[in-house]
């Protein structure tokens, strides 16, 4: 959620490099930027996964493990995998209380190292805005889901309506300022501002999911329209 993308490298390479540098302040900045709502949204994502008893869940771009750890608490006895392509972030996740309940693994969201139909649920937070091909990444998630399995995701999105102008101004000013004051990293949070305002709307994400073959696609906006929680299902008859 917090990483710039200078033109000298590919987006994936630069995001990966910067993820490795931010675990120490990542959670604190997420709390500040969302006025403490980030953890509640992650709980909502875990809830929407609707994991069956003894089921398995894959949390992609797990970062410091907030969603994966919440899933482990919500679904005791389930198998929870948290994957990321940043070893630095995974180190931060492994150090958290309750981390032993999750299997942490390095993985690239573009080519997940799992067989077809391996998981009952897939979750992620702030993944799609940091990849070069969101449709390809979502297609991978459809592949590893079992028929009837659920997808739940948290993302930023551009504000709309009468709130668009004041919220846009706030995003442009407040987020880079917080980055400078708290993380001493204004550049990274300027990137966050740019991708928040430039990412897809919930309707556009839903359109991609329908096109790929998901059904039961729903979404809700959060935090003055700057965040979204989207859920979908892999049809029961689809292999």
Would you say residue 132 lies in a domain? Answer: yes
pLDDT of residue 230: 98
Question: What is the rounded CA–CA span in Å between residue 151 and residue 237?
Answer: 16
The total number of structural domains in the chain stands at 1
Question: What is the rounded CA–CA span in Å between residue 28 and residue 76?
Answer: 27
Would you say residue 238 lies in a domain? Answer: no
pLDDT of residue 174: 75
Instruction: Assess contact for 16 and 85: CB atoms under 8 A.
Output: yes
Would you say residue 190 lies in a domain? Answer: yes
Query: What six digits make up the tokens of 179?
Result: 């980055």
pLDDT of residue 2: 37
Query: What six digits make up the tokens of 152?
Result: 């739940």
Would you say residue 198 lies in a domain? Answer: yes
Given a cut of 50, is residue 3 above it in pLDDT? no
* Better pLDDT: 68 or 1: 68
**Over the stretch 167-225, which tens digit does the pLDDT of each residue have?**
777 778 777 777 777 666 666 666 666 666 778 999 999 999 999 999 999 999 998 88
Question: What is the rounded CA–CA span in Å between residue 41 and residue 12?
Answer: 25
**Over the stretch 57-89, which tens digit does the pLDDT of each residue have?**
999 999 999 999 999 999 999 999 999 999 989
Would you say residue 112 lies in a domain? Answer: yes
Given a cut of 90, is residue 116 above it in pLDDT? yes
pLDDT of residue 4: 34
What spatial distance separates the first Cα and last Cα of the chain, rounded to whole Å?
A: 32
Domain that holds residue 182: 11-233
Would you say residue 2 lies in a domain? Answer: no
> Helix or strand or coil: residue 213?
coil
pLDDT of residue 168: 79
Would you say residue 170 lies in a domain? Answer: yes
**Over the stretch 4-43, which tens digit does the pLDDT of each residue have?**
333 345 666 666 655 555 556 788 888 888 889 999 999 9
pLDDT of residue 176: 72
Burial of 188 (0-12, 13-18, 19+ CB in 10 A): buried
Would you say residue 166 lies in a domain? Answer: yes
The C-alpha angle with vertex 134 and arms to 185 and 1, in degrees rounded to 5, equals 20
* Better pLDDT: 94 or 34: 94
Q: Mention every residue, 6+ apart, whose C-beta is less than 8 A from residue 208.
A: 134, 135, 138, 200
Given a cut of 70, is residue 46 above it in pLDDT? yes
Average of per-residue pLDDT across 135-151 = 98
What CATH number does residue 108 fall under? 3.40.50.150
Question: What is the rounded CA–CA span in Å between residue 81 and residue 139?
Answer: 19
Q: Mention every residue, 6+ apart, whose C-beta is less than 8 A from residue 9.
A: 17
Given a cut of 50, is residue 54 above it in pLDDT? yes
Instruction: Assess contact for 121 and 127: CB atoms under 8 A.
Output: no
């Amino acid at each position: 959620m917090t990483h710039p993308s200078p033109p000298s490298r590919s987006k994936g390479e630069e995001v990966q490099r910067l993820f490795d540098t931010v675990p120490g302040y990542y959670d604190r900045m997420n709390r500040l930027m969302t006025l403490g709502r980030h953890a509640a949204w992650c709980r909502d994502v875990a809830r929407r996964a609707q994991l069956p008893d003894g089921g398995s869940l894959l949390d992609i771009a797990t970062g410091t493990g907030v969603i994966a750890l919440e899933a482990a608490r919500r679904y005791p006895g389930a198998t929870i995998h948290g994957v990321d392509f940043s070893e630095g972030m995974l180190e931060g996740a492994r150090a958290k209380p309750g981390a032993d309940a999750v299997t942490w693994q390095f993985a690239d969201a573009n080519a997940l190292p799992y067989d077809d139909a391996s998981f009952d649920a897939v979750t992620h937070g702030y993944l799609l805005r940091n990849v070069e091909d969101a449709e390809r990444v979502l297609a991978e998630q459809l592949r590893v889901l079992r028929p009837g399995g659920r997808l739940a995701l948290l993302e930023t999105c551009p504000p709309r309506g009468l709130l668009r102008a004041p919220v846009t101004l706030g995003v442009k000013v407040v987020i880079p300022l917080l980055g400078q004051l708290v993380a001493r990293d204004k550049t990274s949070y300027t990137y966050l501002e740019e991708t928040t305002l430039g990412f897809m709307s919930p309707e556009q994400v839903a359109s991609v999911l329908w096109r790929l073959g998901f059904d039961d696609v729903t979404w809700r906006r959060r935090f003055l329209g700057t965040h979204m929680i989207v859920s979908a299902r892999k049809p029961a008859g689809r292999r």
